[in-house]
Amino acid sequence: MPAIESPYLLFLGDAEDPLTAKVARGIVDWRPEQCVGQMKLPGCAVDLGLRDMDLAQGREAGARTLVVGVANRGGVISDSWTRALVEALEAGYDLASGLHDKLADRAEIARAAAENGRRLFDVRHSDESFEVASGAPRSGRRLLTVGSDCSVGKMYTALAIEREMRSRGWKVDFRATGQTGILITGSGVSVDAVVSDFISGAVEAISPANDADHWDIVEGQGSLFHPSFAGVSLGLLHGAQPDALVLCHEPTRTHMRGLPQYPLPDLEACMDLNLRTARLTSPEVRFAGISVNTSQMPESEAADYLASLTDRFDLPAVDAYKDGVAPIVDRLDS
């Protein structure tokens, strides 16, 4: 995949729920210098704190790529977006998207790209082919973030751990397994778009054998307890062969994302099932900490909650976004 040109204008469409804009949010949080502004359609109820811009204003501010920063359930390109995306191509933007639906498969968008000499980046779709996973032990250290649910901070936590290790001078790489991570780092594989026979093989490929003191921080996906996506999570867990796991959790969530009839798992059960299944390819795996998204809790309650988790599990419990992840990295070997 050739490099996506920055800076970006972030397209939020008609997103009503901040969680659906997590692609845009992630880019803003980890690469703010790449984002000139945000673009909304009528009905959009999400705000990233960037300047609101139309296409012309974005171009004046230097933007070269319009990034579709919204991830719908199922990854569909909304018909209501098509006109704006075509106008962007006409205004000189490349387009980048992490949706399942490919920009290149929409006739109007493909035609406008061709007519205007612009490029379409469907980062969720890999053209690479992978081997079936071998399960063979490999050198180097790997940490995987796992979740009680989808969208609970697995990518954030992994990026924060990479940043912390790098600041300590350790050898470390973040390994992106989803569209936002790929848009942030420019490489990786969207494992949920890989043919299912090759999930574990793709993860083996993006986190290959390395120096004995090198850490790969592998971005987790989904949850072993999410009925739609647990297969992806298990394949990722086996392919990553993690030495260490970090559990990511959002304690105010009342049900599994998108599925009101499914409650969140008990954290003990979640950690136990992750360890039990991870041991298949990494017998010595252990948890190194818990990363909690406390953004929906009062500050005082958040501190008490984190302390209670530390007591309960004898593990560092942090909000990676607010507090960083130093206590977790302290538990790992440099």
Structure tokens at 191: 């494992």
Q: Which stretch binds its own copies (CB under 8 A): 31-39, 70-78, 295-303, 305-313?
A: 70-78
User: Rule CB under 8 A: which of 4-43 touch its own copies?
Assistant: none
Q: Which residue has the tokens 């004995």?
A: 212
Distance of alpha carbon 159 from alpha carbon 220, whole angstroms: 11
CA 15, 234, 189, 50: dihedral to nearest 10 degrees? 30
Site string for its own copies, 125-164 (x = CB under 8 A): ------xxxxxxx---------------------------
Query: Is the separation of the CB atoms in 222 and 262 below 8 Å?
Result: no
Name the one residue in this structure whose structure tokens are 């006409």. Answer: 90
Q: Does 303 bind its own copies (CB under 8 A)?
A: no
Least Cβ distance, residue 202 to its own copies (angstroms): 9
Out of 84, 161, 232, 329, the residue judged to bind its own copies by CB under 8 A: 232
259 binds its own copies (CB under 8 A): yes
How far apart CA 178 and CA 276 sit, in angstroms, is 24
> Which residue is listed with tokens 């790449």?
34
Other Cβ atoms within 10 Å of 123 Cβ, number? 27
**DSSP 3-state assignment of 70?**
coil
Residue from 65, 145, 233, 293 touching its own copies (CB under 8 A): that is: 233
CB 303 within 8 A of CB 294: no
Stretch in the footprint of its own copies (CB under 8 A) among 49-57, 84-92, 223-231, 293-301: 223-231
In the complex with its own copies, which residue's Cβ is closer, 61 or 132?
132
Q: Which of 205, 230, 303, 326 binds its own copies (CB under 8 A)?
A: 230
In the complex with its own copies, the residue whose CB is nearer, 53 or 191, is: 191
SS3 96: strand
* Least spacing, CB of residue 1 vs its own copies, in Å: 18
Number of residues this chain uses to bind its own copies (CB under 8 A): 42
Point out which span in 35-43, 102-110, 192-200, 209-217 binds its own copies (CB under 8 A).
192-200
Binding of its own copies by 191 (CB under 8 A): yes
Query: Among residues 269, 274, 270, 282, which one has the least CA distance to residue 239?
Result: 282
249 within 8 A of 267, measured Cβ to Cβ: yes
In the set 123, 152, 224, 292, which binds its own copies (CB under 8 A)? 224
CB neighbour list of residue 299: distance below 8 Å, 6 or more residues apart? none
Q: Say whether residue 168 binds its own copies (CB under 8 A).
A: no
Q: Choose which of 236, 244, 246, 309 interacts with its own copies (CB under 8 A).
A: 236
74 binds its own copies (CB under 8 A): yes
Q: At what angle do helices 230-240 and 267-278 cross, to 10 degrees?
A: 50
Q: Which member of 11, 93, 215, 225 binds its own copies (CB under 8 A)? A: 225
Least distance between its own copies and beta carbon 62 (Å) = 35
Q: Which of 254, 261, 284, 314 binds its own copies (CB under 8 A)?
A: 261
For residue 147, the cross-strand partners are 248
Distance CA 204, CA 134 (A): 8
Binding segment for its own copies (CB under 8 A), chosen from 60-68, 224-232, 300-308, 324-332, is 224-232
Our finding on whether 220 is near its own copies (CB under 8 A) is no
Distance CA 61, CA 59 (A): 5
Which residue intervals of 246-298 are DSSP H helices?
267-278
> Which positions touch its own copies (CB under 8 A)?
73-75, 100, 131-137, 191-197, 199-201, 224-225, 227-236, 238, 259, 261-262, 273, 276-277, 280-281
